[in-house]
Amino acid sequence: MSDLKSIDIHGIMNLIPHRYPMLLVDRIISYEPLKGIVGLKNVTMNEAFFQGHFPERPVMPGVMIVEAMAQTGGVLIMQEFENIEEYIIFFMTIDKVKFRKPVIPGDQLRMEVEVVLFRRNLAKLRGSAYVEDRLVASAEFSSMLVKKDEKK
């Protein structure tokens, strides 16, 4: 993926609604609209989930790694819409999840997410998470963008 653009934490927070302790993307280092995106998460001992997972041997929960990949994909997808403040993005499916290596404090998680399918308000994405050059997790997931004021 070409290094077309980067996005700092302020730009990320303008695109997705997540905040501490659930904001799991620190920086976007590159993206190409409707193609793919690369994001970073600096994993520190200060993460709230390390208090219980596991105090004696901290390991980032796999679901948080998947969430970090999904948030990275959300940053890419949200840029395709005008008036993004009127929308929220929701998970629809998570498939083909594989965890290959524990992620621990001090690691920098690099999420690479590519668009598999994008139609109107639906997106299917494929994500891979790396520490250095080693694959630590992968998943496919789909999301739906919904107007905040729509009735459920």
Domain boundaries, the chain: 9-147
pLDDT at 85: 86
pLDDT at 151: 58
Out of 26, 53, 80, 102, the active site residue is 53
CA torsion sign for 144, 85, 10, 78 is positive
- Which of these, 7, 4, 87, 3, lies nearest to 40 by C-alpha position? 7
pLDDT at 5: 86
pLDDT at 152: 56
Q: Is 18 a catalytic residue?
A: no
User: Which fold, 9-147?
Assistant: Thiol Ester Dehydrase; Chain A (3.10.129)
Tell whether the model's pLDDT for residue 27 goes beyond 60: yes
pLDDT at 1: 53
pLDDT in tens, 78-135: 988 888 888 888 999 999 999 999 999 999 999 999 999 999 889 999 999 999 999 9
* CB neighbours of residue 2 within 10 Å: 9
pLDDT in tens, 57-66: 999 999 999 9
Q: Which residues contact 65 (CB under 8 A, 6 or more apart)?
A: 99, 103, 109, 129, 136, 137
